[in-house]
Amino acid sequence: MFRNKKFKTLESLKLVLFFKLRDVSFKTRISFYSSYDI
């Protein structure tokens, strides 16, 4: 039970990290394109 819980927490953390990284890359891409446009 504890191990399963830990595993789930790890998975959720991975998901959160993945989405955060994706969001950051998306924002940097937007800023890059906007600076390139100017």
- Per residue in 7-37, pLDDT tens? 789 899 999 999 999 999 888 888 888 887 6
Distance, in Å, from the CA atom of 9 to the CA atom of 12, rounded to the nearest integer, reads 5
Distance, in Å, from the CA atom of 38 to the CA atom of 35, rounded to the nearest integer, reads 5
Domain presence at residue 38: no
Q: How many structural domains compose the chain?
A: 1
N-term to C-term CA, the chain: 56
pLDDT over threshold 70, residue 2? no
Q: What is the pTM of this model?
A: 0.52
Report pLDDT for 37: 64
Q: In which domain, by residue range, is 9 found?
A: 1-32
Tokens of 34: 């906007």
Q: What angle do CA 18, 20, 21 make, to 5 degrees?
A: 65
Amino acid, single-letter form, for residue 35? S
Domain presence at residue 24: yes
H helix and E strand count, the chain: 1, 0
Domain presence at residue 19: yes
Report pLDDT for 1: 56
Report pLDDT for 3: 73
Domain presence at residue 11: yes
Domain presence at residue 37: no
